[in-house]
Structure 1
Amino acid sequence: MQVDDTDRRILRHLQADPAQSMAALARSANVTEATASRRLERLRQRGILKGQQAVIDWRKLGWEVEVSLRVSLDKTHPHAFDEFSAAAREVPEVIEIQSFLGRVDMRLQVIARDMAHYQEVYRSRILTLPHISDIEALMHIAEIKRGETLPI
């Protein structure tokens, strides 16, 4: 999948301001609107550009607690990963699920309105997830860097 300098330039400017109009994107990338539109469509069709999304600051909506849970699963059960993942997807407060190779099998990113809400979610929804053999909670205190753009 070849991506040339023009595609990279369009993607850089799109990352910098995803809400800009097609005219503004084309102007900043130094191409015509038709070229920008055609190239974006080709990048979407090739799966390079997956889409655009609204990034919502959930803290400003009253979600004050963020916890990263490192989970080790009982790997003696042949469907432990699939069953755990499916059940974790059903917990609305779980905003991210990642799987790993190593001592830790899964990581869940959990948000809550406050510590009382987190305790309720943890006890009633997290600890009831299937096949957990060990769990470690890491309380989020500050975001130092978030890589939302690629160095293209």
Structure 2
Amino acid sequence: MLDDVDRRILRLLQADPAQPVPELASATGMTAARVTRRLDRLRADGVLMPSQAVIDWRALGFTVEVSLRVTLDKTVPRAFDDFLSAARQVRAVIEIQTFLGRVDVRLSLIARDLPDYQRIYREEILTLPHIADIEALMTVARLKYDESLPL
């Protein structure tokens, strides 16, 4: 599906996503038009996702990150759907993942400080429907965060 030129373009973009097409063309030894066609194809094939603004929430004063592992009451037929629908409405939740196994859902949430987290937990998380068990894991340090692929 990907040839060596595609991989090279993707590696260059991972290193510097804001790199303009003329620089990509120069680095790959191709014309800007050919690079543009390849980028368009990579986007059309779903390999290259649309650009988005990535905001560092720590720079905005959020100092607490918590991972909540939630087990749902599986005796309720719509427990998953009801829970996920309600969890999407909690503004502090920045990521929702579902799993197979004892833990059904992981919520990642951010808060300004511990009192803010406690308020969110009591007023918004504990009121979510069909929770059978919940475990909170507070992030102490992020040792590695890298979304680049080994191309």
Are the aligned partners of 1:93 and 1:110 in contact in 2 as well (CA < 8 Å)? yes
Structure 2: 5+ residue stretches without partners: none
Counterpart residue number, 1:127: 126
Q: Shift of the alpha carbon at 1:25?
A: 2.0
Give the number of aligned pairs. Answer: 151
- 1:78 and 1:46 mapped to 2: Cα distance? 37
- 1:79 and 1:31 mapped to 2: Cα distance? 54
TM-score, reference length from structure 1:
0.95
Structure 1: 5+ residue stretches without partners: none
Q: Shift of the alpha carbon at 1:19?
A: 1.1
Check if 1:13 corresponds to 2:9.
no
Q: How does 1:73-152 map to 2 (within 5 A)?
A: 73-152=72-151
Report the aligned-residue RMSD: 1.0
Q: Shift of the alpha carbon at 1:85?
A: 1.1
- 2:16 and 2:119 mapped to 1: Cα distance? 38
Q: Shift of the alpha carbon at 1:68?
A: 0.3
More divergent stretch after superposition (86-95 vs 46-55) = 46-55
Runs of 4+ in 1 over 4 A off after TM superposition: none
Counterpart residue number, 2:3: 4
